[in-house]
Amino acid sequence: MVVMLVVLFLIGIGIYSYRKSISDNKTIVPRNLHVLLLSNVLFYEKLKEEDRQEFRNKIELFLKAVNVESVGFRLEDIDVVLVAASAVIPVFYFENWQYSNLSTVILYPDYFNKDLSFTEGDVDRNIGGLVGTGRFRHQMILSRKALHYGFNNKTDKSNTGIHEFVHLIDMLDGDVDGVPNRLLSNAYVIPWLDLIHKEMEAINNDESDIRAYGGTKQEEFFAVASEYFFERPDLLKRKHPELFKMMELCFCSKR
């Protein structure tokens, strides 16, 4: 009887330790966070010092809630920082924001195909990121190459990491439809839809500098326009003033 109690006690300790190791298995915040952000994230570089501290605080909160993992390569501090920056940038002006629909970000070394294969020789490896559904629910998969390119190229209007996190924001109302009900009040929904359709028509008529992928679906337009807004805000304001104002309304109002 005593032996049985000891065995049960040890099993209980083992289960507790196992569960605790899972719950505590969150990504460590890099010690050189400020240096990595300053060197690689233009959005952070442009912030005032007090806002930079707030940005770092939000990164720490994100990494306490979400795991960042890698497949096929050893994860480095810069990978973690760029994932977290992609998450924080769209929601920087929101108070107490959490991605309730995300638990893990998985980095693949390269672009991948619809079968999630990324090895050399696989066909149709043109996907840079996706938000999981079904058995991949609460997961995001990003190409490390696409993630880094989005931050290294500071003159284009695209950023894969931001694109995928904007999809997550869009999903929070239950529909991925390009209408971010969590960000826009009902009064702005119809004007937003009218603007989307006008801008998508211009894209598809080759009369816009917005990336062509934004002309495929409403939800892709929202994500692509958001990339443009955060990567080249001054250019967007000059070329698409109405769209810029709507993006400001979505992302720059305290919530």
Give the chain's domain count.
Answer: 2
According to DSSP, residue 135 is labeled G
**Pair (111, 229) in one structural domain:** no
Secondary structure class of 16 (helix, strand, coil) = helix
Domain of 112, in residue numbers: 26-155
- Each of the 255 residues of the chain gets a pLDDT tens digit; together they read 333 333 333 334 333 333 333 334 468 899 999 999 999 999 999 999 999 999 999 999 999 999 999 999 999 999 999 999 999 999 999 988 999 999 999 999 999 988 888 887 777 888 999 997 777 789 999 999 999 999 998 788 999 999 999 999 999 888 889 999 889 888 999 999 999 999 999 999 999 999 999 999 999 999 999 999 999 999 999 999 999 999 999 999 765
Tell me whether residue 37 is in a domain: yes
List the one residue out of 194, 180, 177 whose CA is nearest residue 242.
194
**Pair (148, 181) in one structural domain:** no
**Pair (93, 35) in one structural domain:** yes
Answer yes or no: are the C-beta atoms of 105 and 66 closer than 8 Å.
yes
Task: Compute the distance between CA of residue 51 and CA of residue 57 in angstroms, rounded to an integer.
Answer: 10
pTM: 0.87
Strands 67-70 and 104-108, sheet pairing: parallel
Q: What is the CATH number of the domain that holds 120?
A: 1.10.472.150
**Pair (198, 253) in one structural domain:** yes
Answer yes or no: are the C-beta atoms of 204 and 178 closer than 8 Å.
no
Task: Compute the distance between CA of residue 108 and CA of residue 117 in angstroms, rounded to an integer.
Answer: 9
Cα–chain-centroid distance for residue 81?
Answer: 12
